[in-house]
Amino acid sequence: MTRRIAFALTALVLTLATGVTAALAGPARSSADPGVTPTSILLGTTSPLSGSASAYASVARGADAYFKYVNGRGGVNGRKIVDTIVDDAYNPAQTVQATRQLVEQDKVFAVFNGLGTEQNLAVRDYLNAQKVPQLFAASGATVFGTEAGKYPYTIGLQPSYQAEGWVLGKYLARTQGAAKVAVLFQNDDYGKDLLNGLKKGIERSRVRIAAAQPYEVTASDVQAQVAKLRSSGANVFAVLATPKFAIQAYVYANKLGWKPKLSLTNAVSSASNIMQLASEGGTNKVVEGSVSIVFLKDPTDPKWKKDAAMKLYRSIMKRYAPSANANDVYHVYGMAAAWTAVEAIRRAGKDLTRDGLVKVVSTMNLSGNPFLLPGIGLKTGPGDHFPIEQMVLQRWHKGAWKSFGGIWGYRTA
Amino acid sequence: MRHSRALAPIAAFVGLAVIVVVLPSFVSAFRAQQFAYVAIYLTALIGLNILTGYTGQISLGHGAFMAIGGYTTAILMTEHGVKDIWTIPVAAVVTGVVGFLFGIPALRLSGLYLALATFAIAVSMPAVIKRFEGFTGGGGGLNLFGLPELTASLEPVTVLGQELTFNDWLYYLCWTVALVGYVIAWLMLRGRTGRALRAVRDSESAAQSSGVSLRSYKTLAFGVSAAYAGVAGSLFAIATTFVNPDTFPIALSILLLVGVVVGGLGSLVGLIAGAVFIQFLPIWSQQISKSPGAPAVVSGVVLIALMFVLPMGVAGLVARLRTLTKR
Amino acid sequence: MADFWQQVVAGLASGSIYASLALALVLIHRATGVINFAQGEMATFSTYIAWALTTNYGWSYWPAFAVTLLASFAGGVAIHQGIIRPNEKGSVLRVVIVTIGLLLALNGLVTLIWSGEVRAMQSPFPTRTIDIAGVAISIQDIGTIGVVLATVVALWALFQYTKVGLAMRAAAVNPAEARLVGVRVTWMLSLGWGLAAVLGAISGMLAAPSLFLDPNLMAALLIYAFAAAVLGGIDSPIGAVVGGLTLGVGLNLIGAYVDFVGADLRLPAALAVILVVLLVKPSGIFGKSEVKRV
């Protein structure tokens, strides 16, 4: 008799223990749209705080620091912005559960700045069905802009990977004659999107892709791929990779004695501190003359040392994220996203609704984002669901980036 | 005598079933969905328990079996228009067969070597899934949300006169499957099969000399435990409405083994505790700190501490409580 | 033809790194019978210590190297005494869970303390490359192979010719009888963990200059190291080296010349190796078959 009771009681206690914590979940909000009170706006962000992509957690951290700064100056339309960050370990299944938590338990007004292509794709249908804005998804996947008709609540921010690849391709087409390109690319949607853009950019020119080698994110090194690319006889080396692999590629190409006429790299890996590592104290010959695209101000680029916006950036980091590394450019991206969110929310008015916010971000024309390069604006409208489509080319010369050629724009067909 | 020994666990089981049925009325729909995942992990743990607890074989690859079940369901739903619940038995059979086939060569491995081999399979599964892109949707994965084959994803469904929204439907589906699965396992393990499996665990040579066919029972254990994991994977795909290679990472296989050990091998309460642990540990670790890397530190420390505090798992704690109340 | 040899050379370079971590795995298994899933993360942690000393505190390479090895040894012993030993009496599973917990905690700790940013690590060897018939061979890679071979010789000498080595072997194979003849078994096991930690640290410091340092440095290598150890024989240091080099060259050649495999199936190919070896000859190329006493 007692055994049965003890057994049943233990099972009961276990289930109730977790149930009780449930009952103590946040209070129900009675205003028109969840997540908005007279004094606050609640946003939710999924971010890889653990796992192999934790380097990208800086994106959410930078945005959070900016919101705190804005709150310290009175907030937006009298409301303070609170951004709840939830770990998804870069696993889309976790992103689904974390997003459900943000929407159904924390009752956020909007999901903002979620990191990762697959991660955002996994929750896109759900968020649109629930009519919750998927604001400024931190991914350059082209589909976040091209499928606005089907998914009106979803919008990206950064230039699409395809646009990036296209600009680099067009640069090759215009300046490199009959070049042969060897491409190292990450074997996922990110890398493939970049490669597709590159191919589009070199269409109808004499540039050809001589070889393309993929690598997995789980790889330990890319030496085999670089060796194979070198043997293709190409004279242009395109490194469409994430930082660690990009550095390895440059260093290994140099080790092999490969001297391509030109090397290219994409934005994610172009931060100055990463290029410094690749340049091996100036001895790396492959890195010298490398061309890349940029749309953010790079905190380790000496030309922004006296820049007012960068000074602001550093002071915000110092005050609101003192243990973080301010040289990490992903923080700057986060702040650029947060700035845009603040402006959009401000324009959506005191009577803040989800649909109202979606309307604002779908037809916006903002300039003056201090974290973007001068002249780069945020523009969307009917048929154009890509906020940032402008980039600048830059060349790595003697340990620093030098921009050239003015602002390139791209309209996704 | 057999009757009274069976009575206590049956009564406890019925009590649990009652709690499961009424719980959603006391908690939010969101919490119900979280508990649905507990049932999913419970199903996988029931299977893993048969392999590790009863037969003594270590598997670090059950996440891969979940992937097979999950992808079976996803492919059947997206490519062949099969309704979600009918994909569950198919997933069970497909994964069970794969598990059984794996069990044949696995006969030659034991202990840590088997752990390594299953670890190898789990680590390579995402890459293999990606490779057969035409079949599996590659890295982009398969999306189930909004499909007419996915019950209740857009409109509530009516079951037994009750209108259920997605979260509640999911909860009842998963718990029904888990509890039915538990009953099946319990019946299977009560008699000869259970004794034979335990004999294999305790001493392979002794078992063999008593006439227990190692080959049959080890492969059976693999097949059955894989089938359970396949069902869990199928439910996981339905619950998450999305599958891609990264939704079944090596971390999942590791977590399942952790769940079975923390829960304590062998008892239902232990298994439920293990499932609760798997579902809520990442959430609890985040409450402590959100600095990058901190949740992992918390999880790791908790794991190590648990092995000190509860070496026999939660089930061991419950067993000790039981002996206390007997006095 | 130069391309083929370049792939071979690249394979030897990667393979020697796999071998160096495999040596740590082999040592731990031989000395304590345990497969340490946290070996890679312990190595990463040690490498970060070396990095912090040379970069943040401006130490020169060799003193930092020495201190890192000492710290790793102490860490390995402490981990064994504090965390592993209390769980040794239980089932194998408990030790597996504990090493998994250690893996998680160390990986998180590295990110927490030093962030996920990529870092450069100094190499003890010059970074020059020599060119032989169109094939580029880096001095660093030659140095790495040299260190790995020297380590194997040192381990072999330890186990074959020293009393300590003999005691360690006895403690691993038959603890009860070893105690009877006066071997302090627990300390021998701790010594095994300490030495394995040192080997792991060396492995990390060999890998980091070319692979660059981030929290996942060794995680990616661990699978290849397991494959190498299993291929060569999980109790044989020479096997670990042969296994590692064979694996490195083999994977490169298959990846370069067999189109079906390509880059994405390199890892599964390595794992297929583990599976095939475990099924055909579980004791690996150089291992001795285990005879089970009934």
Q: What is residue A23's three-state secondary structure?
A: helix
How much is the pLDDT for A301?
A: 85
Q: In C, which residues are within 8 Å of A329 by CB distance?
A: none
Q: With an 8 Å Cβ cutoff, are C96 and B257 in contact?
A: yes
Q: In B, which residues are within 8 Å of A100 by CB distance?
A: 30, 33
Q: In A, which residues are within 8 Å of C138 by CB distance?
A: 255
| Cβ under 8 Å to B: C residues 198-257 | 215, 223, 226-227, 230
Q: What is the DSSP letter of B27?
A: S
**Residue A31 near chain B (CB below 8 Å):** no
Q: In B, which residues are within 8 Å of C93 by CB distance?
A: 52, 58, 257, 261
Instruction: Give the burial string for B252-287 (b: 16+ CB within 10 Å, else e).
Output: bbbbbbbbbbbbbbbbbbbbbbbbbbbbebbbebbe
Integer Cα distance of C276 and B244 in angstroms: 27
Q: Which helix (H) or strand (E) holds C256?
A: helix C237-257
**Position A22 confidence tier, pLDDT thresholds 50, 70, 90:** very low
Q: Which two tokens stand for residue C59?
A: 């130490």
Q: With an 8 Å Cβ cutoff, are B300 and C110 in contact?
A: no
**Residue A154 near chain B (CB below 8 Å):** no
State the average pLDDT for chain B: 86
Angle at the Cα of A313 from the Cα atoms of A312 and A316, rounded to 5 degrees: 85
The distance of B151 to chain C (nearest Cα, Å) reads 36
Q: Which two tokens stand for residue A262?
A: 């030109």
| Cβ under 8 Å to A: B residues 211-250 | 236, 240-242, 244, 246-249
Residue B29 burial (C-beta neighbours within 10 Å; 0-12, 13-18, 19+) = middle
How much is the pLDDT for B6?
A: 64
| Cβ under 8 Å to A: B residues 111-150 | 126-127, 130, 139-141, 143, 145-146
**Residue A12 near chain B (CB below 8 Å):** yes
Q: With an 8 Å Cβ cutoff, are C13 and A252 in contact?
A: no
Mean pLDDT value of segment A36-59 = 91
Min mean pLDDT across A21-30, B200-209, C48-57 is at A21-30
Q: In A, which residues are within 8 Å of B35 by CB distance?
A: 18
pLDDT at A6 over 70: no
Sequential DSSP letters for A295-360: -B--TT-GGGTT-HHHHHHHHHHHHH-TTS-TT-HHHHHHHHHHHHHHHHHHHT-SS--HHHHHHH
pLDDT at A20 over 70: no
Task: Quote the radius of gyration of chain B (alpha carbons, Å).
Answer: 20
Mutate to test the interface with B, among A13, A21, A50, A215 (most CBs of B within 10 A): A50
Give the Cβ contact number of residue C138 at 10 Å: 24
Sequential DSSP letters for B164-217: E-HHHHHHHHHHHHHHHHHHHHHHHHHSHHHHHHHHHHH-HHHHHHTT--HHHH
Task: Give the residue on C whose Cα is nearest the Cα of A242.
Answer: C118
Place of tokens 């640290």: C201
The distance of B147 to chain C (nearest Cα, Å) reads 31
Return phi, psi of residue B61, to 5°: -125, 10
The distance of A85 to chain B (nearest Cα, Å) reads 8
pLDDT at A202 over 50: yes
pLDDT at C267 over 80: no
List, for residues C189-205, the tens digit of each pLDDT value: 999 999 999 999 999 99
Residue B168: what residue type? D
pTM of the model: 0.90
Q: With an 8 Å Cβ cutoff, are B307 and C94 in contact?
A: yes
Q: Which two tokens stand for residue C228?
A: 């190498």
List, for residues A341-363, the tens digit of each pLDDT value: 999 999 999 999 999 999 999 99
Q: Are C221 and C17 in contact (CB under 8 A)?
A: yes
Q: Which two tokens stand for residue B205?
A: 């040579």
How much is the pLDDT for C290?
A: 58
Q: What is residue C182's three-state secondary structure?
A: coil
**Residue C265 near chain B (CB below 8 Å):** yes
ipTM: 0.90
CA dihedral of C166, C167, C168, C172, whole degrees rounded to 10: 100
**Percentage of residues in chain A with pLDDT exceeding 70?**
92
Mean pLDDT value of segment B184-194 = 83
**Position B215 confidence tier, pLDDT thresholds 50, 70, 90:** confident
Q: Are A280 and A289 in contact (CB under 8 A)?
A: no
State the average pLDDT for chain A: 89
Q: Select the more confidently predicted residue: A154 or A189.
A: A154
**Position B219 confidence tier, pLDDT thresholds 50, 70, 90:** confident
Instruction: Look at residues B128, B141, A244 and name the one whose alpha carbon lies nearest to residue C262.
Output: B128
**Position B203 confidence tier, pLDDT thresholds 50, 70, 90:** confident
Mean pLDDT value of segment A181-193 = 91
**Residue A93 near chain B (CB below 8 Å):** yes
List, for residues C84-139, the tens digit of each pLDDT value: 988 887 777 888 889 999 999 999 999 889 988 889 998 888 888 888 887 888 88
**Residue B327 near chain C (CB below 8 Å):** no
Q: Which two tokens stand for residue A103?
A: 């929407």
Q: With an 8 Å Cβ cutoff, are C119 and A252 in contact?
A: no
**Percentage of residues in chain A with pLDDT exceeding 90?**
67
List, for residues B231-274, the tens digit of each pLDDT value: 999 999 999 999 999 999 988 998 999 898 888 876 788 899 99
**Position A14 confidence tier, pLDDT thresholds 50, 70, 90:** low
Question: Which of A24-38, A88-102, B94-108 is modeled with the greatest confidence?
Answer: A88-102
Nearest to A256 among C136, C214, C252 (CB): C136
List, for residues C205-241, the tens digit of each pLDDT value: 999 998 999 898 898 888 889 889 888 888 888 899 9
Nearest to A248 among C117, C212, C255 (CB): C212
Mean pLDDT value of segment B59-85 = 93
